[in-house]
A and B are shown apart, each in its own frame.
Chain A
Amino acid sequence: MPAFDGSVPFLGHGVGLRVRHYRDLLDGAACAHVDVFEAITENFLHPGGRPRAVLDHIAKVRPIVFHGVGLGIASTAPVDAEYLEAARRLFDRYDPPWVSDHLCFTRAGRHDTHDLLPIPYTEETLNLVTDRIHRVRDAWDRPFCLENVSRYVAHRTSEMDEATFMAELVARTGCGVLLDVNNLLVCEKNLGEDPWRYVEALPRGCVHQIHLAGHTDHGTHAIDDHRGPVPSAVLELYRRVVARFGPVTTIVEWDEDVPPWTTLVAEAERARTVTEEATAP
């Protein structure tokens, strides 16, 4: 594995684990084609069956980081204790170097929307998320990162922008950032936010991981659908991010019309090439 001269291990370039590739990964040497895998936490909470068999197989040869979509860390509704416990058991089994979820809310009361919903960036939500991060880290006892989400609506009641909010969270809790470069560009298209200002607001060393993916531009707005190869605009911003922060563990996500394994691996290789070019002396 590549080494990283810093407190956060650099695990290399990898892909998000998807069901379509289970057979490739179980049958052959495909696991060795990438440096690292990212597994969606909620897909592996159950104790048996083929999903766990795939993880067991991968874990023998490559590191796995877990990425959740269901925590809803900014939901004012109480944290789902059963979910926290199931995730803890999963993480304890595979011992990932860090785990992540999104800076968003997912539910109101007991109604879970299964979506990543934007929050107003206020002192009230900052205090809420700060407390929740401490709770989550206590429950899971391992480094925790938050990802910036794609947003389609803005909150008039926000008292600061998301970059400032995220940087303050990092300062208060020591949590890491999973920087989704694609989401920065989606927010630029939808809400007119400056992606580079976001990057510059983050302290060096806090970005544990990067996501690369595609989106669909509908003219009036962009949808973060993880469809298709990583667009050139995303790779160009990624190049600048890596030049600023140095090599960062990078995962390519592809969820719509998931391609054959070799196509996905080629995307991870593109990211590796960009990192090498951007960090060359």
Chain B
Amino acid sequence: MKAADVQALFVEAIAWPTGVRDFLARSDDETRNRFAAVFAGGRHLDAVSCMEIYANAYFYRIRDALAEVFPLVRHLLGAEAFHDLVTDYLWMAPPRRPDLSRAGDRLPAFLHAFARCRRDPPYVPAFARCEWAELEALVAPDASPARPDDLAGRSATNLLGTCLSWHPSVRMFKSGWDYRAAATALARGEAVVPVARPGWDLLVRPHHAVHVHRLPEDAGWVLLRARTGATFAELAAAAAERGLSQAHFASWLRTWLEAGALCVASP
């Protein structure tokens, strides 16, 4: 057998969702013969038992890594359902990147795509998206966020033309469920009761820790304009379009600046 065929058989056997023994039981004679011709047991274990060690390591390493990234999803589903979720996910969307921390990159989309047939509670896909975004924010490129004082001393003309953009760590989603409240309850060891509340989840890591903010709908639409850069004047106009008063806009802008969510892009 060529090395590529040996490796394909190895991975197929250990990634089978019900174990190596079941993989062989469900395989044809040719596959079983190839398996027997390639793999040898150890001092005390036969070849199948030896391969089960790899199968367990494959599944549990990834399951535990996903549990670290998605603690809220795991908590809300429960350990057994999370285990089953990982089994389904690995079968449908096997990892493609060498970095284990990225193994969950398609889990939010997987939950969303299969929401109807999986019958998960409706908040699970939304919370999974936010938990993945927390990981992305955690390792996003560093940048110095703008502070309220950076803008306070500018002339009116200068201020209106100042371009603000999202800090590289910012992730923001429109959601019907309050992720911040659920994640905070979990972190405090309190009962997690998902709350249906339309708005935006804003995640930002100005220094080393990720902070989660909940924005009302109108404020979120305005901040969205700064994603790739918008002048102060453009943001103020966007706020006016949504019926926000100047004072209301100024209050939100200060909140975003204090959160470290914006950088001065120019000048």
Determine whether B141 belongs to the interface, using a CB cutoff of 8 Å to chain A.
Answer: yes
Give the complex CA separation of A71 and B160 in angstroms: 50
Contacts of A122 in B (CB 8 A): 3
A108 & B10 in contact (Cβ 8 Å cutoff): yes
Q: Mark B1-38, 1 if CB is under 8 A from A, else 0.
A: 11110111011101100000000000000000000011
A111 & B101 in contact (Cβ 8 Å cutoff): no
Determine whether A49 belongs to the interface, using a CB cutoff of 8 Å to chain B.
Answer: yes
Determine whether A210 belongs to the interface, using a CB cutoff of 8 Å to chain B.
Answer: no
Known contacts A47-B142, A107-B11, A189-B43; decide if A113 and B95 are in contact (CB<8 Å): yes
Looking at the complex, which one of B3, B11, B168 makes contact with A48 (CB distance below 8 Å)? B168
Looking at the complex, which one of B3, B15, B37, B169 makes contact with A76 (CB distance below 8 Å)? B3
Looking at the complex, which one of B43, B65, B99 makes contact with A190 (CB distance below 8 Å)? B43
B3 & A120 in contact (Cβ 8 Å cutoff): yes
B39 & A114 in contact (Cβ 8 Å cutoff): no
Question: Nearest-CB distance from A192 to chain B (Å)?
Answer: 5
A117 & B10 in contact (Cβ 8 Å cutoff): yes
Give the complex CA separation of A46 and B205 in angstroms: 14
Determine whether B94 belongs to the interface, using a CB cutoff of 8 Å to chain A.
Answer: yes
Determine whether A80 belongs to the interface, using a CB cutoff of 8 Å to chain B.
Answer: yes
Looking at the complex, which one of B12, B51, B95 makes contact with A114 (CB distance below 8 Å)? B95
Question: Nearest-CB distance from B13 to chain A (Å)?
Answer: 10
A111 & B11 in contact (Cβ 8 Å cutoff): yes
Known contacts A152-B54, A221-B45; decide if A47 and B38 are in contact (CB<8 Å): no
Task: Report the count of interface residues on B (CB-CB < 8 A).
Answer: 51
Known contacts A113-B14, A117-B10; decide if A153 and B39 are in contact (CB<8 Å): yes
Give the complex CA separation of A53 and B49 in angstroms: 43
User: Which of A154-162, A165-173, A174-182 is found at the contact surface with chain B?
Assistant: A154-162
Determine whether A42 belongs to the interface, using a CB cutoff of 8 Å to chain B.
Answer: yes
Determine whether A115 belongs to the interface, using a CB cutoff of 8 Å to chain B.
Answer: yes
Known contacts A48-B142, A70-B98; decide if A115 and B61 are in contact (CB<8 Å): yes
Give the complex CA separation of A117 and B40 in angstroms: 14
Looking at the complex, which one of B37, B94, B100 makes contact with A42 (CB distance below 8 Å)? B100
A117 & B8 in contact (Cβ 8 Å cutoff): no
A152 & B95 in contact (Cβ 8 Å cutoff): no
Chain A, Cβ-Cβ closest to B52: A152
B101 & A42 in contact (Cβ 8 Å cutoff): yes
Contacts of B2 in A (CB 8 A): 76, 124
Known contacts A53-B208, A105-B7, A153-B39; decide if A112 and B97 are in contact (CB<8 Å): yes
Determine whether A16 belongs to the interface, using a CB cutoff of 8 Å to chain B.
Answer: no
Q: Given A120-B3, A221-B45, output 13 extra A-B contacts at Cβ < 8 Å.
A: A42-B99, A47-B142, A48-B141, A49-B142, A74-B3, A83-B98, A111-B15, A111-B94, A115-B14, A152-B53, A153-B42, A153-B54, A190-B42
Question: Nearest-CB distance from A213 to chain B (Å)?
Answer: 16
B139 & A51 in contact (Cβ 8 Å cutoff): yes
A110 & B40 in contact (Cβ 8 Å cutoff): no
Give the complex CA separation of A156 and B39 in angstroms: 6
A114 & B58 in contact (Cβ 8 Å cutoff): yes
Determine whether A263 belongs to the interface, using a CB cutoff of 8 Å to chain B.
Answer: no
A157 & B38 in contact (Cβ 8 Å cutoff): yes
Give the complex CA separation of A83 and B49 in angstroms: 33
A155 & B39 in contact (Cβ 8 Å cutoff): yes
Determine whether B138 belongs to the interface, using a CB cutoff of 8 Å to chain A.
Answer: yes
A80, A83, A111: most-surrounded residue (chain B CB, <10 A): A111
Determine whether A191 belongs to the interface, using a CB cutoff of 8 Å to chain B.
Answer: yes
The 7 closest A-B pairs by CB, nearest first: A70-B98, A46-B139, A153-B50, A108-B11, A76-B4, A48-B142, A220-B44
A114 & B100 in contact (Cβ 8 Å cutoff): yes
* A-B CB contact pairs (8 Å), 19 listed: A42-B99, A46-B139, A47-B141, A48-B143, A49-B169, A69-B100, A106-B98, A108-B11, A111-B15, A112-B97, A113-B15, A113-B58, A113-B95, A114-B100, A114-B103, A152-B54, A157-B38, A220-B44, A223-B53
Give the complex CA separation of A249 and B3 in angstroms: 34
Contacts of A53 in B (CB 8 A): 208
A155 & B98 in contact (Cβ 8 Å cutoff): no
